[in-house]
A and B are shown apart, each in its own frame.
Chain A
Amino acid sequence: METAYLIETVIKIVAILLIFSALAGIGTYFERKVLAFMQRRLGPVYVGPFGLLQVAADGIKLFTKEDIVPTNVVGRIFKIAPVITAATAFMAAAAIPFLPSFTLFGYEVHPIVADINIGILYILGIMGVGLYGPLLAGMASANKFSLLSAARGAAVFISYEVITGLSLLAPIMMVGSLSLIDFNEYQAGGITDWIVWSQPVAFILFWIAAFAETGRTPFHLIANDHEIIDGFGTEYSGMRWGLFFIGEYANMFFISFVLALIFLGGYGDGSFLGALGLLVKAAFFFFFFLWTRAAWPDVRPDQLMWLCWKVLMPIAVINILVTAIVMM
């Protein structure tokens, strides 16, 4: 393997890790601010200008807090579970092109760690593995609420993997590739080429499933504060809990990028404006995650299952059939 390629890849991995770990922190800041403004509050204001250093304060607190492993938990699994959540979230980022390729000091940089030809499959698979974080944490915690959360988590993830897979199948049939870069090239012609116009149903379905995959508010029942405390995170403290948090927010960012890349044209023709467009689109999807948290109530677990298996899955299958018939 070429040394330059190796160095480039390592640098890209480190950059993605650092940027998205930091973004996860800043994401919590934005979440608190946006939710506060929507509820006529101010949010954090005291630490630093506009409360910006609240992120640092939270980070210091999480890092220095005592790492408590309660008695009766299954120690090893309890300790490894948050790592699984954070690690799978970042592993999924390997196949996501965050920006179009650009030239830096005469060296062409592709802002994607590995342009593998099964990109989407890989992302979905790794995000599916992310299920083991909440599942193992909840089962190892020796806490009934955590166990409930683990059971819900397993049910929700497995059900909604079906929706993500089936809803993406139709766009994949149209593009004929699983690489996100190929998806981007397919839509490079401008707004009219965006897949969202030809596959609106798949877009909505994938968007709904994204909420379930990240466990955000309409489907926030994996860690539903008002009924099962913090779910799988109840027994965790300090940085182990922080890893769950980083994983959740990183997942939100990555799925926002995936939504923008697959359905909304990604970075378009690769110009500076296109790159900016991708960031704006991803930012909108991230904002929408926060927005719904302020506006919408949670559904019950049985309603969630009902929605998945009796409504969304038939629609997804019909969508695939219609796409196939039209393509023939």
Chain B
Amino acid sequence: MHNEQIQEHFNNRNVTEADSNYFMVDIAPYPTDGWGKFKRVVKRSFRGELFVGLWVVLREMIRFNIHTVKYPEEKMPIGPRYRAVHEMKRLWESDTERCIGCGLCEKICISNCIRIDTKLDEDSRKEVTEYSINLGRCIFCGYCAEVCPELAITHGGEYENASDQREQFLIFQDMLTPLEKMKAGTQKEFEGFGAITPHEDERVKKTPLAY
């Protein structure tokens, strides 16, 4: 449908209009006398609805189209935008971590589950010394991934984080993409909240350096 049509459709809330999508359900009048009730019973009994039901379930049994996912062995595919346990990405060029220690994720975190501590290293660059996420508090809202200017902290697809205690901390080293994964070139970019949109390269404009 075109945009205008959708707009019109949403604006038209007049349920009495003939061409609207609302219609009265066709309910036959209930029988009041004995003979009418008897006729209804006969109709329902001999219309074979019971046998239709029997046939439907038997058909499904013969087709044997099983929909069960045997969970621990098989898993449903999850979307690339799924927001599960966080990941910390590395730069493709140098394999160093993307995180610059700006602390925005800690600031924006609405459940106060991120703690970041930084110091200046010998090159006077900020270095992350402590970074932990309390998964027991995290509500997986995705704000940290959205606010991250470097696309460093993202959500991953690991959703099996059941544990025997409420507090379960994730530290920087656990979240960081392993180096061997970088070497193999299999680090996956997050497509969800805060990620760059597709075809971003075509839309980006050069920084005017003239002035």
Chain A residues engaging chain B, CB cutoff 8 angstroms? 34, 37-42, 45, 291-292, 294-296, 311
Contact = CB atoms under 8 A, between A and B. Distances in A.
Contacts of A41: 66-68
Q: 5 tightest A-B contacts by CB?
A: A38-B57, A295-B53, A42-B68, A37-B61, A294-B57
B58 A291 contact: yes
Query: Could you tell me the dominant secondary structure of chain A's interface residues?
Result: helix
Nearest to B59: A38
A40 B56 contact: no
A38 B66 contact: no
Contacts, number: 37
Given A295-B53, A295-B56, A38 B70 contact: no
Contact of B53 (A37, A42, A45, A296): A296
B64 interface: yes
Contacts of B61: 34, 37-38
B67 A291 contact: no
B60 interface: yes
Nearest to A35: B57
B32 interface: no
A39 B56 CA distance: 10
A54 to B, nearest CB: 15
Contacts of A39: 57, 60
10 contacts: A37-B60, A37-B61, A39-B60, A40-B66, A41-B66, A291-B54, A291-B58, A292-B54, A295-B50, A295-B57
Contact of B65 (A40, A295, A296): A40
A294 B60 CA distance: 11
Contact of A40 (B53, B58, B60, B70): B60
Nearest to B41: A311
A232 B71 CA distance: 35
Contacts of A42: 66, 68, 70
B44 to A, nearest CB: 12
Contacts of B41: 311
Q: Chain B, interface size: which category?
A: 10 to 19
Q: Which of B57, B64, B65, B70 has the largest count of A CB atoms less than 10 A from its CB?
A: B57
B68 A291 contact: no
Interface in B42-83: 50, 53-54, 56-58, 60-61, 64-68, 70
Nearest to B62: A37
A211 to B, nearest CB: 12
A214 to B, nearest CB: 18
A291 B57 contact: yes
A311 B37 CA distance: 13
A295 B60 CA distance: 11
A35 to B, nearest CB: 9
A40 B58 CA distance: 11
Given A37-B66, A292-B54, 16 more contacts: A34-B61, A37-B60, A38-B57, A38-B60, A38-B61, A39-B60, A40-B65, A40-B67, A40-B68, A291-B57, A294-B57, A295-B50, A295-B54, A295-B57, A296-B50, A311-B41
Contacts of A296: 50, 53-54
Nearest to B56: A295
B68 A38 contact: no
A296 B48 CA distance: 12
Contacts of A37: 60-61, 64, 66
A37 B56 CA distance: 12
A45 B57 contact: no
Contacts of B57: 38-39, 291, 294-295
Contacts of A294: 57
Nearest to B68: A42
A38 B57 CA distance: 5
Contacts of A40: 60, 65-68
A166 B65 CA distance: 44
Nearest to A33: B61
B16 to A, nearest CB: 36
Contacts of B65: 40
Interface in B136-178: none
Contacts of A34: 61
A182 B57 CA distance: 38
B33 to A, nearest CB: 15
Contacts of A292: 54
Nearest to A38: B57
Nearest to A293: B57
